[in-house]
Chain A
Amino acid sequence: MHASGRPRLSLAAAILVWACVASGFAQSTSQPHYLITNDDGVFGNSVTFYTIGANGGLTLTSQVQTAGLGIGGGFFSTNRISLLNSTGNECVYAADAATGDIIGIDVTTLAVGGSASGSTTDSGATNGIGLAMNGRYLYASYTASNTIGTFQVQPGCSLSFVNDTPVVGLQAGFIAGMAIHGNLLVVTYGDGSIESFNIASGPPVSNNDEQNSTGYTQSLGVAYPNGVEITKDGRYAIFGDTSTSTVVEVSDISAGSLTTTVVYTLGTAVSASNITLSPDETLLYISNTQGDKVTAAFFNEYTGKVSMGCASGSLRGVSSKWSYLASLALDTNAGTGGTIYVAEFGAPSYIGMVSVSSSAGKCTLREFPSSPLSAANSSGLLSIGTFPPRSF
């Protein structure tokens, strides 16, 4: 028994190390650890890098000018930051909503590697350009022209434009949120409808599954899928809804396309337009975008079920410093993600910092005493991310 046990222990250890490396938990000492903001500046856009300290604290490290222009607002779920953590190609991609270009910044040098634009008709000037990528391709959601631009990832944080795919919601909505798993791209249109695409060949090809979500069609509530996440195993797509309470929806996508969503109403905090899964997939963090809280829901990665966990108190500075919460980012790529960062939209904007603890079916969210941190470079912060990014 003893002899046979050793190899199993060694295998388990190997799996653990592999998992940690794959998830980015084993952040090498040479890899920087940043919180990154797309500042969305109207008179000159920039990307700001904050070094994340051991305690989750943030130190402003660098502001990189994009040479383009932002719009100082837009859709909550249209995240204008996308991160690539590939050996030799560690990049931050950021979109300039007003001028329509996407720049790549080398995370190791903080130098701009390249810039690319879509077609002449691509525009995100009303509500932004969202970004999502899978290592080979980057997809840009142009919210004004209602197109998905496909860009091929090039060395040195560069991009090359491939083509456009026109899209539209069932109620004529505009593309808002995007998420990728493998060859599947899932999008929301902000009008109640959702759709998935096959991206095996690069440019998105519809899976012909465009549909209205259950939250949109159910009798009493009104909910519009906005943000979207996909589980690590690609089994579930989770939608954060723009709603008058906290509503998320889950679709089983294990067959490679969207199925009818299941609705979860989690509380009275207003709206759930931005969501992110914890690295261990036990918690779904919800930015109550039109409210003033962060909510954590318990997520069952095997069944896709969601249940209410806990909500933070009212985050400091609401109304006096900022008006909306927007995208979320996590400190670490292990466990429940450590510190939760949340973009606080204002002029100037702020970054809220919330700690999480979870055990035995209970959780607690508490705002840091030092929160919020001024994001003085941004007059309309909606989009943040952390590097190294989560592995899924």
Chain B
Amino acid sequence: MHIFSRRLLVIAVCAIVFSAAAAAQCPARPAIGTVVQDALSLYSQNGVLNAAFDLGYSVDTTGYTHYCYQYHTSAGLVESPTLRLNPGDQLVLSVKDSIPTGGPSAMSGMDMSSMPGTTCGDGGNATLQSTNVHFHGLNVPPICHQDDILDTLIQPGSPPFQFNIQIPTTEPPGLYWYHPHVHGFTEFQVNGGAAGALIVEGMEKYRPEVTGLTERVFVIRQQFLVPWVPGPYELTLNYQTVPPPHTPFPVIQMKAGERQFWRVANASLQDFIPLQLWAMGGVPQPMELIALDGYPLAAPRYETTILIPPAGRAEFITPAFSLNAGPQFATLAYSTGPTGNPDSEFLLAGIELTTAGNPKAPAPTSSHAAPQSLSALKFAGLKDATVTGTRKLYFSEEFGGTNGPIQFYITVDGQRQQVFQPNEKPAIITKVGAVEDWTIENHALETHDFHIHQIHFMMLEVNGKPVPNDLRDTIEIPYWSGTGPYPSVKVRMDFRDPTIAGTFVFHCHILLHEDLGMMHKIQVLP
């Protein structure tokens, strides 16, 4: 639910004032109705991908705030490049916070230090202008300079902070993404566009169906004029605004008769996206689903609608369209329940079929890979692993009024419902080697979006019924209707990998909910 309380209102007003005062830093975004281009790809070389980002800030002419990962090239600034690494590669990413100071830095500061001595980076208070980076979906350690969001804080004007991450050799190939994750303020920076794709190469080794296909990477973002204040929103496709009906919409070029490999990330704040590809007359066409959340499916399957929850990813092969098919790329409306925000239908892009395709599109993937078994990847054998424990968690909400106060909870059954506090003790303590089945219920009249850092989980059941055993890192849990059993998902959590030992978080990936405390810590003991 998109609501604001007194505190949020203050933040929002400060943000507006700050917006008006800030100088433009971010590159211009694509004009509406133009051809959609993929982000610049940065490839690892000799096993290392070395890159430097500046997190900048500006306000566009229509009043939308932009937070941008700026990457400097010889041709000028580009925004949020796609990071491409192979399993076993090293990512050395330096991030400088260049958000102008002088804004609402003092407001609602939140002490992020969980325990004395655990500060990573600059420390201090979390504010609208401080940042860090979460590498969403990567199965890497939750420690400083890797994927730690609990203690890492980069303050504006400080020297660049360096992330140094070894991609595991068994990391599943697929689409991941990176974004800020400062508790209490994540929504603002992601709303401004601070999000990009990260690809672990090698999908064709496991899913040879994609071999030789032209690959496209699409990142769907969402922007409100001011996050946390109710109002209409826009979606963008690779930073191009998806406009209202009857105006020029983004154009995706592809060859007639060609099948392409599309990798789509939902980097929105809260929009559940049921994707469809339409032929003439809005008839949905089957898409060959290859991977979800960066993990190849055990076997491809055809879907006419692929639901991607906020923070989820889907990789699929498009159908081939004939020249006169008039195809379109769309997201359907989605009901998030009585107290949830309505997610609207959008025509994301028209597909322009040509004989040449898009000359700027990335080259087709290599065609000489041999199929490999998924058993070489992380989480292999999870289905048959011995389950060492079970837990039940549930989402719930309280509204004191239409504008709040509001409390968003994710609770381990038997514990007190409470919102996340940076200095809280872990709600769950387990140990390396554990394999646990979790049932996650939704007691709220609003759909929630469960995400856990550091690992993928295996889907077992939805509402008590078996489902394909896909590996996910983010999953929607539909709203409760007010009667009958609570909607639920049952998943298998895999804590066997010793490299993920440490403390990390699980939360709702509707970012407002996470910012307001629908999150807790889990500690995996060595």
A220 engages B339 (CB within 8 Å): no
Give the complex CA separation of A271 and B406 in angstroms. 12
Give the complex CA separation of A89 and B224 in angstroms. 49
Residue of A nearest to B338 (CB): A319
B416 engages A226 (CB within 8 Å): no
Given contacts A226-B400, A290-B399, contact A318 B338 (CB under 8 A): yes
B417 engages A242 (CB within 8 Å): no
Give the complex CA separation of A291 and B479 in angstroms. 11
A116 within 8 Å of B (CB atoms): no
What secondary structure prevails in chain B residues at the interface with A? loop
Q: Which of B478-513 contact A (CB under 8 A)?
A: 481-483
B483 engages A314 (CB within 8 Å): yes
Q: Which of A180-233 contact B (CB under 8 A)?
A: 190-191, 219-222, 224, 226
A314 engages B482 (CB within 8 Å): yes
B521 within 8 Å of A (CB atoms): no
Give the complex CA separation of A77 and B403 in angstroms. 13
B9 engages A126 (CB within 8 Å): yes
A148 within 8 Å of B (CB atoms): no
With an 8 Å Cβ cutoff, the count of chain B residues facing the other chain is 28
Residue of B nearest to A293 (CB): B482
Q: Which of A57-104 contact B (CB under 8 A)?
A: 73-78
Contact partner of A74 among B337, B396, B401, B409, CB < 8 A? B401
Shortest C-beta distance, A360 to chain B (Å), equals 25
Count of A-B contacts with CB under 8 A?
104
A220 engages B401 (CB within 8 Å): no
Give the complex CA separation of A242 and B407 in angstroms. 10
Q: Which of B236-259 contact A (CB under 8 A)?
A: none
Contact partner of A73 among B338, B398, B403, B417, CB < 8 A? B403
Q: Which of B352-410 contact A (CB under 8 A)?
A: 396-403, 405, 407, 409
B483 engages A313 (CB within 8 Å): yes
Given contacts A222-B418, A244-B409, A292-B338, contact A76 B401 (CB under 8 A): yes
B482 engages A318 (CB within 8 Å): yes
Give the complex CA separation of A74 and B399 in angstroms. 10
Contacts of B482 in A (CB 8 A): 269-270, 288, 291-293, 314, 318
A36 within 8 Å of B (CB atoms): no
A75 engages B401 (CB within 8 Å): yes
Contact partner of A75 among B337, B400, B445, CB < 8 A? B400
Given A244-B396, A292-B338, 18 other A-B contacts at CB below 8 A? Answer: A76-B401, A76-B402, A127-B403, A173-B405, A221-B417, A222-B409, A224-B405, A226-B400, A242-B400, A244-B417, A244-B443, A289-B399, A292-B445, A314-B483, A318-B338, A319-B337, A323-B402, A380-B402
Q: Which 8 A-B pairs have the closest CB atoms?
A: A73-B402, A75-B401, A244-B396, A319-B338, A222-B417, A292-B482, A190-B400, A242-B400
Some 24 contacts from A to B, beta carbons below 8 A apart, are A73-B401, A78-B401, A126-B403, A128-B401, A190-B400, A221-B417, A224-B400, A242-B398, A242-B400, A243-B398, A244-B409, A268-B443, A270-B397, A270-B445, A273-B400, A289-B399, A290-B339, A290-B398, A292-B481, A293-B482, A313-B483, A319-B337, A323-B402, A345-B402
